[in-house]
A and B are shown apart, each in its own frame.
Chain A
Amino acid sequence: MVTAAPYEPKKKQIVDHLAPTAVDKTFNSKATAGEEGMISVRDMDFNYGAKRALHHIQMEIPSKQVTAFIGPSGCGKSTLLRCFNRINDRIQGAHIASGQVIIKGKNIYDKDVDTTSLRRQVGMVFQKYNPFPKSIYENVVYGLRISGVKKKADLNDACEYALKSAALWDECKDRLKQNAFGLSGGQMQRLCIARAIAVKPDILLMDEPCSALDPIATLKVEELILQLKEQFTVVIVTHNMQQARRVADLTAFMYLGELIEFADTLTIFSNPQQLKTEEYIRGQFS
């Protein structure tokens, strides 16, 4: 199944193709036609200690669209996603080696950036649903509480808004005070989404949000993602190419820490420009 070895010589070639300008051109021509994106990554290298995890990433992620990252395991797609809210900082030795990540005109890796307020603007949903051991209500308003909101009415409004946005309101409006662990897996994941959007971030990062869910729950979350893109810029990491095809406007294919191709989803899946992308999409390796 893994046919990585024969491609070794070609990999060099791909890297050569991956000059920043090449990617820029692809992106600009296909997706946003020269407009600067919500998140722009400028020639970024990322390290875990001495080990380089991402090489020369260059991309513009447009606003109010769903962007999917696909690629084989260990290709760095999650690492890249986690760069956008600097949650990687939790890991000892993880740091950006060069380049910039610019969100709303500000390099978030500048020294004067406050990560807590950054994370209030860049929400995140994790692979495994992780509600807190509190009530549903307390889970949703957690983000507000820690940012100092105390008024009961504000909290209630935010809770209703977030649960409605996450399509969870009808299911749990009568049990807001019950422990969140009483929900089903799919509901818990949607609760995590509600928790993330309750603070009204600009960007919502999703790290394989459906990998722990059954097909029906997956479907619901995917529908939700399509709704959410009206309000938020959604970046999603997925293992599932069908999912990327179903929900994403743009798709980025990554391999061995490099961004191989980034274009609108239709192009990536029907007419990929890079050989590597084509082989991955055809299922020739994973």
Chain B
Amino acid sequence: MNDNPNGISEDMQALLKKPGLLGVRVDRQSLIKHFFNGCAGITIITLFLIMWSLLRESTGFLPTYRWELSVYRQAGLEYADFIEKPLSEHLALHSKLNRAFNAELNTISRESKLRRDAAFLIKQQIEEKTVLQREPLQEALDAGNTPPEKITALRKTLTEATAAALGSEPLPKLFNESEKKSLTADLLGLQPDVTDMPPFIKSLMDKFIEQDKAGKEKYAAFISALDAFEEASEPITELHDGMKEQVLEVKKAATQQHMAEDAKFKLLEAARAAKTAEKREGFEKDAAQTDINPIDYKTNIDSLITKLPEYESLIPAYKDAVSKAMEGIPQKADTHEARELIDQVRKSFPKHLAHVDESVDHMKAWQWDKPIPLFRALTAFLFGGDWITNSSWQDFYGVIPLFTGSLLIAITALLIALPFSVAAAIYTNQFASPREQEIIKPFIEFIQAIPSVVLGFIGISVLGDLIKETSNIPWLQWIPGFPVQERLNMFNAGLLLALMAIPTMFSLAEDALQNVPRAFSEASEALGATKLQTVFRVIFPASISGVFAAMLLGLGRIIGETMVVLLVAGNRIAIPDFSDGIGAVFQPAHTLTGIIAQELGEVSRGSAHWQALFMVGILLFFISLLINFLSRKVVKRFQLPKI
């Protein structure tokens, strides 16, 4: 201390920083600082690791998918699909007509069918209940040497048991009193050795057969039209099947070739990395043995194209046949359902005919060797309307059906959750007494504690049936989409997701209202405003930025939720049919999150399907990022200026 190199007086030595360890100061203060710094750093590094792994797993997707699409084209699958399109339309039209026909037929035979089924059911129930008395009698009869008096006694016990069972089993209301009597007589006469149907039940059966026959006679024209419609496409279907077989062969060969190339590449890699010359030679030998013959796409395509004139020649006959069949469809259907279905078919029929003609144009314009650029794989992913996997024909990874599912569910959930949460927040913050606040807030926040799997249970077991039953109420039929066909649908999932989002949105909206300066409400009330006027004219507008942020964060939660949608949304991978307008929300759908959860466990690692699922993950990531970004913008835009 005495020799002072810097010429600083001893008193001032304390001012100098103490030397650190490797340039880092290690006193307590800086250690604490570095600890917090490190924590923040680890969080950021983890985020980057997640992004990196997502990108790594999915980078291969675009080239792989492009390769698959190019095989789809070069092997001629695309060519065959041009015919597939009108064929599947034909199938859809036919099934609609079939449904219409069944609806019509039901008007005649429905009641007799119901009566017959009810009688059968009661007979079966009685037989089940008296099985203990029936079996000994059966055995006695089978034995052949049983004394007749014993058989009589057994018969008596059986009749008594039947009577007792009948007493406990109410007869269906479909029958009137005298019919009930004859039914009872029939049932009492049930004995194991009588194989003929009892007379009354027999009459019911005959009645149904008769009416069914009558119905089929009445609608004979309809039936023949229906059959003609179905048969019209047969030649084309045959041709198409032939083409399919042919191109699938080529595709199979191409896939095998691809795998062989892959194997050879790997062997060569191994050879390069091998340590001893011996091993290397071995690898190289193996590689040389892997024979790779370039696939002769050209010959296949040439033979495929020769089918076009045949297809073209089949078209006029097909069009004639279906048009004629359409004329045979009754103009006036008796039931509402049939009328609607037939109307739909009539409406889309001209379009269908046009599509048939178009398919020929598409086939003529088609070039098998037109290369597929890389961005085409991306657009096919982002805007593709089919998500088809594990198909024997061709896999497609188009994300639109999943995206629309996610979006519709999110919109439904948001539209339900927003009014509830904002209204609850306004009430709690502005009108509720402190005691009420103490009750409401924890209760709403408690919803968050319900595990989403449990909510899924509720959706399946309670909400689904509730929605379906409500949709059958006659005076609610004006609601689009009613009656609902599926218990598990987007609306159901939306309702549950709304419930999940309400606590988040409620808390944030409540905070936003709380943050409005008291001075505003004081000024408003001093001007003679009522509480309600103050809330709606001053406080709510002033808190709008916070409410927006609450909404967007709720949306983020809804989009990212997986378990509920997987259980409740119905998991049908298809773009919803918007012909019913807003009623489309009552259809089942699959979602971006649900598909990952459902399929990722089952695909082989590194396959195109696997990579596609990671791409879906990235898409979700970007959607969340966008929502976050938007909420920041919105909050800034509507923020109150500071005074």
Given contacts A133-B640, A179-B641, contact A116 B530 (CB under 8 A): yes
User: How far apart are the CA atoms of A154 and B253 in the complex, in Å?
Assistant: 86
A130-B519, A132-B520, A146-B537 are known contacts. Are A124 and B641 too (CB-CB below 8 A)? no
CA distance A129 to B523 in the complex (A): 9
B514 to chain A, nearest CB (A): 16
Asked whether B524 lies within 8 Å of A132 as measured between CB atoms, the reply is: yes
Bound complex: CA of A118 vs CA of B525, how far in Å?
11
| Chain B interface helix/strand/loop/mixed | helix
State A123–B522 Cα separation when bound (angstroms).
12
Query: Contact: A130 with B527, CB < 8 Å?
Result: no
Q: Is the CB of A133 within 8 A of B641?
A: yes
User: Contacts of B525 on A, CB cut-off 8 Å?
Assistant: 87, 90, 119
Size category of the B interface is 20 to 34
| Bound-complex Cα distance A195 to B522 (A) | 13
Once the chains are docked, how many angstroms separate the CA of A196 from the CA of B525? 11
Chain A 58-91 near chain B by CB (<8 Å), digits 1 or 0: 0000000000000000000000000001010010
Determine if B527 and A146 form an interchain contact, defined as CB atoms under 8 angstroms apart. yes
Of A92, A133, A181, A195, which contacts B527 at CB under 8 A?
A195
Contact with A along B33-67 (1 / 0, CB 8 A): 00000000000000000000000000000000000
Is the pair B541, A133 in contact by a Cβ cutoff of 8 Å? yes
Complex interface: chain B residues within 8 A of A90 (CB): 522, 525
Structural contact, B519 and A117, CB atoms closer than 8 A: no
* In the complex, B450 has a CB within 8 A of chain A: no
Instruction: Give A205's nearest chain B residue, CB to CB.
Output: B526
| A116: chain B residues within 8 A (beta carbon) | 528-530
CB of B517 within 8 Å of the partner chain: yes
A262, chain B: closest CB distance, angstroms: 24
Q: Is B538 located at the chain interface by the 8 A CB criterion?
A: yes
- B516 closest partner in A (C-beta): A133
Distance in Å: Cβ of B584 to nearest Cβ of chain A: 40
Name the distance in Å between B512's Cβ and chain A's nearest Cβ: 13
**B83 contacts chain A at the CB level, 8 A cutoff:** no
Whether the Cβ atoms of A130 and B522 lie closer than 8 Å is yes
Give the residue of B528, B537, B538, B541 whose beta carbon is less than 8 angstroms from that of A119: B528
With an 8 A cutoff between CB atoms, is A120 at the interface? yes
Q: Is the CB of B528 within 8 A of A192?
A: no
Is B533 an interface residue, CB under 8 A from the partner? Answer: yes
Q: Does A188 contact B (CB under 8 A)?
A: yes
Q: Which of B522, B527, B640 sits near A199, CB closer than 8 Å? A: B527
Q: Which residue of A lies closest to B433 (CB)?
A: A92
Q: Are B528 and A117 in contact (CB under 8 A)?
A: yes
> What's the least CB distance linking B494 to chain A, in Å?
34
CB 8 Å contact bits of B532-566 with A (1 = contact, 0 = none): 01000110011000000000000000000000000
Q: Can you show 10 pairs from A to B with CB atoms below 8 A apart?
A: A119-B526, A124-B526, A126-B519, A130-B520, A131-B643, A133-B641, A142-B527, A181-B641, A181-B643, A196-B527
Question: What 11 new A-B contacts, CB under 8 Å, besides A116-B529, A126-B526, A131-B523?
Answer: A87-B526, A119-B527, A120-B527, A120-B528, A123-B526, A126-B523, A133-B520, A142-B529, A146-B537, A181-B641, A181-B643
Residues of chain B having any CB pair with chain A under 8 Å: 434, 517, 519-520, 522-530, 533, 537-538, 541-542, 640-641, 643
7 closest residue pairs by CB, A with B: A130-B519, A120-B528, A119-B528, A124-B526, A181-B641, A143-B527, A146-B529
